[in-house]
Amino acid sequence: MKYTFPENFIWGVATAAQQIEGGITEGGRGLSNWDVFSHIPGKIEGGGVTDVACDSYHRYEEDVALMKKLGVKSYRFSFSWPRIIPDGCGEVNPEGIAYYRKLIDCLKKNGIVPNATMFHWDLPYALQVKGGFGNRNMTGWFKRYAEVLLDNFGNDIEYWVTFNEPIATYVGNAKGFFAPGLSDDAYARQCCHNLLVCHGEAVKLFRSRNFKNAKIGIVVDVWKHYPADPENAEDVKTAEFSNEIEGYGMFLNPLFLGGYSDILTRYMEENRLTPEIQPGDFDTIRQKLDFYGMNFYNVLIDDTRKTGGKNADGSEGGNFQNRPESHTELLERVLSETVEKYKIDIPVMISENGLPQHNDPDREKVLDDQERIDYVKSVLKPLHSAISHGIDVRGYYLWSLMDNFEWSAGFEARFGLYYTDYETLERIPKKSAGWYASVIADNGFEE
């Protein structure tokens, strides 16, 4: 069977500044919360730190050349807030502006559409010391940062994303294994609420500029849980908790429906976790968007009889990269239910999707990544079906262009189409790179 995607479908790759740039003290850049967190012993698998990462700060032209070779239509990257404003709220760093100007110009010269995220988890450490997103002043600080980006790059970027996966702010403040490493559920929920207000303020600022060619959206990852037995109350309760109380529902409900769900509201009230909400906050949060980015990796089936009341992977919550099962065949159902439940009437992008390989000293095993090809096929098939049944999905971004710093997994999880040799910083194509290039060239694939 031939899976052919719509004309003008956007095939892309995705990265993030913190994960690939390195150069953490070069060119006037300030430290981020993840720079500091990665240096705390025991926080990162394998002891990886972000100081060099993939050195894309110096090698961006080489990386754009890799994209050109793949034939990608669009590149999803992120700005580093501490590279733009080193202390988060003070003087703008001209060297940071110049770096991203060169990157964007290089992309456009090579016919690659920029898709840029304002915030992909790397908060200036100077603002973290001031309370991070738990400090309501963050709404002003972030708005000023967004203004600097729009003033300098405005119409040069076709797709703007305010925030990537805001769940990471919850995990970092409530669960402790992401930066900043706190374990305070009430504080984490205040952080998430303030973050959503920041998003709304940035969208309002964007609209005030009347850009002709630019669009704006947000990326919220959906790791949907289903009960293994819909008649089993514990399975249902576990899935509901993971979706609505500690998952995507925390964000999609206020973003698209104008408030927290009844389930979440009741839970926060009963557990004294309700954030301070100022008048007008939900009106600010619920701004009309141009597109919604869904990061999709997995579907989880919660069988509490097997896991003793915990989630499908045996954990007690949060989103993780390594899963015992994929259930990617359920993507069409996930898309349909998400669009219907949250009344999403704008185009959707699959803004991230990929598969980790565990680091292996035998490089050839990593380069021969047929498992990644099979996994991506298992995602593209239901995605193709969803589009054919009327769900307005405009693009797919594979995570990631190259192996990089994968947060608490460090350099031990390899998601790249290109293998990164972290000693020489050479990028070496994996089997999947050639396959994905053929998918892009053919606008689909044949089984």
pTM, two decimals, is 0.96
Catalytic residue (choose from 201, 244, 246, 352): 352
Contact 146, 205 (CB under 8 A): yes
What residue spans of 24-113 are helical by DSSP H? Answer: 33-38, 56-70, 81-84, 94-109
For tokens 């996994």, the residue is 375
352 annotated active-site: yes
**Which residue type, as a one-letter code, is found at position 401?**
L
Would the pLDDT of 293 be above 70? yes
8-state DSSP, 276:
P
Q: pLDDT for 93-137, tens place per residue?
A: 999 999 999 999 999 999 999 999 999 999 999 999 999 999 999
Catalytic residue (choose from 21, 165, 244, 332): 165
Residues forming beta bridges with residue 427, ordered by sequence position: 420
Share of residues in the chain with pLDDT > 70 (%): 96
What residues contact residue 36 under an 8 Å CB cut-off, 6+ apart?
Answer: 125, 128, 179, 180
Q: pLDDT for 207-229, tens place per residue?
A: 999 999 999 999 999 999 999 99
Cα–Cα distance for residue pair 70/429, rounded to 1 Å: 10
Contact 156, 211 (CB under 8 A): no
234 annotated active-site: no
**Which residue type, as a one-letter code, is found at position 63?**
D
Contact 78, 117 (CB under 8 A): yes
Range 380-384 average pLDDT: 98
The domains found in the chain, sorted by start residue, are: 2-446 (3.20.20.80)
Neighbouring CB atoms inside 10 A of 433's CB total: 24
Share of residues in the chain with pLDDT > 90 (%): 95
> Beta-strand (E) ranges in 165-298?
215-221, 224-227, 291-295
User: CB-based burial of residue 280 (10 Å sphere; 0-12 exposed, 13-18 middle, 19+ buried)?
Assistant: exposed
Q: pLDDT for 7-42, tens place per residue?
A: 999 999 999 999 999 999 999 999 999 999 999 999
Total residues found in the chain within this entry: 447
Q: pLDDT for 298-337, tens place per residue?
A: 999 999 988 665 554 444 333 344 445 689 999 999 999 9
